[in-house]
Structure 1
Amino acid sequence: MFGKQPILSQQTFSGIADESLPAKRLNIAYGVDKNFLFGACISVTSILENNKNVPLVFHIFSDYTDEETCKKLEQLAVHYQTTIILYIINNDSLADFPYTVRYSYAAYYRFLTCEYLQSRTESLVYLDADIICKGSVEPLLNLDIEDNIVAAVIDVEMMQKRAVQIFGFEPDSYFNSGMLYINLKAWQQNNILEKLIATFSDDTLAAKLTFPDQDALNLLVRGKVKFLSRGYNAFYNFDDEPKIKRADRYKEIINDDTVFIHYVGVTKPWFSWAKDYPAVKYFSRIYTISPWRDHPLYDARTLKQYKKKSVHQKYLGRRFEGFKTYLTYTWLKMKK
């Protein structure tokens, strides 16, 4: 399936002796590029902080690392007495896969985690890097997925309507792929990766895939999905704040039953202009106790980010700063 060895190297950070590893552990994986590696590290920390008595192993697949990241991952593993494995992806191994502006190699990383780990564990929890844990993941240790391929949470109403109209889905049967519990045995038996590549290569179908990896996965495992409660993937979008204008709106989304907060949208909690919103506190608390607490929050780097930053600055009363950010956005747009 891969043209070359998909993993260039791997490094294990462990605060626990191999002989002390419990037989039953929850394996949690991330597939991220350089821009989301920091977010994934804070996400890992949030799970560890809220699940100190749950046996966990983390797998981070990325095309980037550096000495500082490795040092901090080691500190994290030792502090929480856990195991974290960092895999460096060889993007050349994906050279035969469809690659366009819409289908970058990063879109395949979550699927690579499934292929590479299926010989090591029977099940896997996959998380996007913009997810923060605030509850217990222990129920996932004993989740009965029956004969399904994945367990997931349904997406928002707009996405449900789109799935019905474009793909002929039944109502409330389209899931969000930011949090997935994956039956790796069923994944292998159903040749999901091979079918995904075929789907991406189908020009007629590909034109309909607005959200390529998520759309394709929904199509391929349709009817083989166990649906979980909203608490396992609670969507919160900072970019809705300037539209809705209610500071306590997040309380309607994030509650006592929330296990994973999924910070969807352009503005992520690790962006500097999100720090004044109340809902960022779940990220900020973990950030300030993590080995990355001295790592600066990110500033805008893309056109979309500059535009959103400007909107948020104006909404939060910093109109002059917002105007300057918008000028930067306009200048960068003209340069393209």
Structure 2
Amino acid sequence: MYHIEKSIKNIINYSFLPDTSNIIHIGYGIDSNYIRCCATSIISFCKNNPQENFHFYIMISNLDEISKNKFHLLAKQNSINITIYEIDISFFKQLPSRLAFPLPTYFRFILPSILKDLDKVFYIDADVICINNASEFFNTKLNTNIIAAVPDTIDTATNRNNDLGLKNHIYFNAGVIIINIKKWNLLNIFDKLIKEILTDPKKFYMLDQDALNLILTQKIAYLPKKFNYFNGFYPWHKDSITNKEIILLHFTSSPKPWDLGWEVSSMSNDYNRDLYKTYENQTPWKNASPVYPKHYRRLRIYSQDLYHHGYYLSSIKYYILYLLTKLKK
């Protein structure tokens, strides 16, 4: 059995909750690329649920002093608790990772061990924002289930179930999960997940999400998609759900709302175009510049999107940058 205490390098507490009763516990696992959106996710919960007492937990390998000060200010200004766990990733380096899924994606595995004295925690991906009151979500009953989660898209579910050999299983997205901490730890879910991944790493294309589906099958309470609505995958204009019904909006696709290219992307529409920025501008990260594409293919897509919107000179500029960046690879 692995003892998570070995991986915790530092714990930082910013405590400003005036009332410590009936606390909602929400956790995030991030790297440095997701700091600003994690803060945005936090503020979105606060603004849409002013009646709740929140304690947020952030697991990250390294956090710079500027960001620490900003999280301190975020906690103080909104009368919430924020606990930051700086994690040594040495143990996780033995696990597979991809560009879209860096090693901190596994941090959700250790959250129940860190918060072992609690009954329930809400794990939220940092690219999820709360856009309406979430009382119904917070009041979810897990009963005998280990987690609650939202089913993934049909195509993803079919492909992943086939590759994992799962039968009679509804494949879920791990971006929003409610964890029964006592049951998770009692059944040693962390150890089972790690053992399964190390046995056949190539099988887990979706990494931690695949492993969670494999280990937790038949122990899941399924939630309606309004609690993890996939921006870009569900066509809003063809869907029966309305903007007012969506509780948690998950920016699963690229570009993200904080990326260069978001405004002209097909992922962006009249409703969601400025939605993320509205919340980010209520954090100490307000007015932050868009993030430049980290992969040359994103430059090509950005160039194409600019062209389709009639920005021809800018399109040419970024296509040239795409070619130059590609040549360096």
Report the TM-score, using the length of structure 2 for normalisation.
Answer: 0.89
Contact kept, 8 Å, 1:160 with 1:171, in 2: the verdict is: no
1:197 matched to which residue of 2? 194
2:145 matched to which residue of 1? 148
Which of residues 292, 307, 310 in structure 1 aligns to 2:300? 307
Give aligned-pair identity as a percent.
25
Q: What do you get for the CA RMSD once the two structures are aligned?
A: 2.4
2:273 matched to which residue of 1? 280
1:63 matched to which residue of 2? 61
Structure 2: distance between partners of 1:71 and 1:60: 14
1:21 matched to which residue of 2? 20
Contact kept, 8 Å, 1:25 with 1:56, in 2: the verdict is: yes
Mapping for residues 1-336 of structure 1, pairs under 5 Å: 1-2=2-3, 5-17=6-18, 20-22=19-21, 24-95=22-93, 97-99=94-96, 104-119=102-117, 121-170=118-167, 173-203=170-200, 206-237=201-232, 249=237, 255-275=243-263, 277=268, 278=270, 279-336=272-329
Specify the SS of the correspondent of 2:261: helix
Structure 1: distance between partners of 2:4 and 2:13: 25
Residues 31-82 of structure 1, C-alpha deviation per residue, up to 9 Å, x if partnerless?
0001111111111111111111111110011123222222222222122211
Instruction: Call closer, same or farther: CA 1:56–1:101 in 2, change over 3 Å.
Output: closer
Residues 235-275 of structure 1, C-alpha deviation per residue, up to 9 Å, x if partnerless?
012xx79xx9xxx7498665211110001112101113213
Contact kept, 8 Å, 1:235 with 1:253, in 2: the verdict is: no
- The structure carrying a bigger helix percent of its residues is 1
Letter in 2 for 1:209: F
- Where in structure 2 are there 5+ consecutive unaligned residues? none
* Greater shift in the superposed pair: 303-312 or 61-70: 303-312
Specify the SS of the correspondent of 2:122: strand
- Where in structure 1 are there 5+ consecutive unaligned residues? none
Letter in 2 for 1:316: H
